[in-house]
Structure 1
């Protein structure tokens, strides 16, 4: 039987470009919970304590905001994105 280990997206987010692509894909889905989860994965990959410190947040509040039951404010999300050196942009979507 081959030995396996759990998949962890955080292991593949070693560059700013990878982080940006990962978060952009989450935003494209249009699911706030998926984006919150992706932001949490990226913060964990980069070091939750460091991200919290640079974003001017407590580590506990960042963990809480990005937890499965969390609901980060736009301000919190924008602070984390700035710390990650990621900028979100808006474009016009397809017509319905």
Structure 2
């Protein structure tokens, strides 16, 4: 049996947006991201989801302009809670607090 080696540069880039296809998947992804307690990572994750759903559609559903969404949901930004809340609503998910164990 021969083993074929694959070079890193031959691998396709992973695109999380292709896997964010349901409110349940989106909620699980956001829950994992929120556990990091990193606003910049949250902004990037929200951007991933917005691109998966279509930025124009998210803008329309959230009442936020596309330009403002791109700015608020870029890597290393710190979106306001109001923005996060509106965007999550457009995604069909809500943020929920749980006790730490």
TM-score, length-normalised on structure 2?
A: 0.85
Are 2:16 and 1:9 aligned?
yes
**2:33 pairs with 8, 26, 34, which one?**
26
Structure 2 Cα separation of the partners of residues 69 and 31 of structure 1: 9
Structure 2 Cα separation of the partners of residues 30 and 79 of structure 1: 19
Moved more, 1-10 or 71-80: 1-10
**2:78 pairs with 60, 71, 78, which one?**
71
**2:55 pairs with 40, 48, 56, which one?**
48
Consecutive aligned runs of 4 or more in structure 1 exceeding 3 Å deviation: none
Structure 1 Cα separation of the partners of residues 83 and 42 of structure 2: 13
Structure 2 Cα separation of the partners of residues 13 and 82 of structure 1: 15
* Cα RMSD for the two superposed structures: 1.4
Deviation of the 1:30 alpha carbon: 1.4
Structure with higher Rg: it is 2
Structure 1 segments unaligned to the other structure (5+ residues): none
**How big is each residue's C-alpha offset from its partner over 1:53-96, in whole Å with a ceiling of 9 and x where there is no partner?**
110011000000011243211111100001111111112223xx
Q: How many residues align?
A: 94
Structure 2 segments unaligned to the other structure (5+ residues): none
